[in-house]
Amino acid sequence: MMRNVSRFAVAAVGAAATVLWFATSAQADAVVDNGYARGGFIGYGDKIWVEHYEGRTSSVEWYTDYGRSGSCSVTVPDVSKTCNYDMREDGTITLWICTTGPGIGSDECSIAVTDRINS
């Protein structure tokens, strides 16, 4: 009985990791990471996503070369969020992720990443 529970747990963890990898990394056009959280831009559907590694507040900040800007934030108790935007089909988007919370003196931000907006 215990052996079957262990096999099930290993299979469930592997399946969840595979789904998460395909849901974010495989489709993401640009990815940012600051060690506390990661996020990115998915051109197909114009989505910005953010997910926590630790229980803090994290936000993907972004702007386009044609004057739009915004952010997609997630805070405890949620661990991830996807925000939908309607982008033009040309131009570039620049994004970075910042995290704030206990144990961080000031915002911990990633470097900015710029990508083409294509869907």
What domain range is 41 assigned to?
30-116
Decide if 6 is inside a domain. no
- Tell me, yes or no, whether 18 lies in a domain: no
Residue 16 in any domain: the answer is: no
Q: 0.85 exceeded by the pTM?
A: no
pLDDT of residue 103: 78
- In total, how many domains does the chain have? 1
pLDDT of residue 27: 52
**Long-range contact pairs involving 71-80 (C-beta distance under 8 Å, separation at least 24):** 72/39, 72/48, 74/37, 74/50, 76/52, 79/51, 79/52, 80/49, 80/50, 80/51, 80/52
Cβ proximity of 42 and 27 under 8 Å: yes
Tell me if 56 is assigned to some domain.
Answer: yes
Q: What DSSP element (H or E) covers 32?
A: strand 30-33
**Domain presence at residue 75:** yes
In this structure, the number of other CB atoms found within 10 A of the CB of residue 77 comes to: 6
**Quick one: pLDDT at residue 18?**
35
CA angle centred on 103, ends 33 and 69, rounded to 5°:
40
- Whether 8 maps to a domain, the answer reads no
CATH number of residue 55's parent domain:
2.60.40.10
- pLDDT value at residue 47: 94
**Residue 12 within any structural domain of the chain:** no
State the pLDDT confidence band at 7, using cuts at 50, 70 and 90. Answer: very low
Task: Tell me the CA distances in angstroms from 33 to 2, 11, 58, 69, 99, one per residue in order.
Answer: 38, 27, 11, 19, 10
- Summarize pLDDT for 95-109 with one digit per residue, the tens: 999 999 877 777 899
Higher pLDDT, 101 or 64: 64
Mean pLDDT lowest for which of 55-59, 66-70, 82-86, 90-94? 55-59
So what's the pLDDT on residue 12? Answer: 41
Considering the domain boundaries, does residue 17 fall inside one?
no
